[in-house]
């Protein structure tokens, strides 16, 4: 779980967007939630700064344009998180580990499991 003080920062940057946190996944990227480690704070910070203005744009602009923009930055967030250690934010040697399928760097995976595990899971196709 992300530390509360980091969550507060994200909610402060994109209050309108995260208001949709109770929406189903097809309506909001909050399916990502903050059910992740502190290591993903930076990717989520970047994402939050990009997604919040789109909420304002949605009021004034054509919905399909905004929807495609949101889809694009959600894909970018997913890609970035896939390559970032969920625990410490490292971006080198990230593997999938554990029954919760966490993305961790070698050091964090070793600290968690006592030994590194093979990255036995292929990335789902887009």
DSSP 59-101: HHS-HHHHHHHHHHHHHHHHHHHHTS-TTT---SS-EEETTTT
Q: Which is nearer to Zn ion, 28 or 97 (CB)?
A: 97
CB of 108 to Zn ion, least distance (A): 3
CB of 89 to Zn ion, least distance (A): 7
Over the window 74 to 103, marking each residue x when it contacts Zn ion by CB under 5 A and - when it does not, the resulting string is -----------x-xx-x-------------
Burial of residue 48 (CB within 10 Å: 0-12, 13-18, 19+) is buried
CB of 28 to Zn ion, least distance (A): 28
**Phi, psi of 42, rounded to the nearest 5 degrees:** -60, -50
Could you list the residues that contact Zn ion (CB under 5 A)? 85, 87-88, 90, 105, 108
């Amino acid at each position: 779980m992300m530390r509360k003080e980091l969550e507060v920062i994200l909610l402060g940057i994109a209050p309108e967007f995260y208001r949709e946190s109770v929406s189903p996944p097809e309506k909001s990227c909050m399916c990502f939630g903050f059910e992740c480690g502190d290591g993903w704070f930076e990717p989520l910070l970047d994402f939050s700064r990009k997604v919040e203005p789109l909420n304002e744009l949605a009021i004034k602009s054509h919905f399909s344009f905004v929807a495609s923009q949101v889809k694009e930055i959600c894909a970018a967030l997913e890609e970035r998180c896939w390559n970032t250690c969920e625990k410490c934010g490292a971006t080198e040697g990230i593997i999938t580990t554990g029954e919760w399928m966490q993305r961790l760097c070698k050091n964090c995976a070793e600290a968690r499991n006592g030994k590194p595990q093979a990255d036995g899971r292929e990335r789902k196709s887009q």
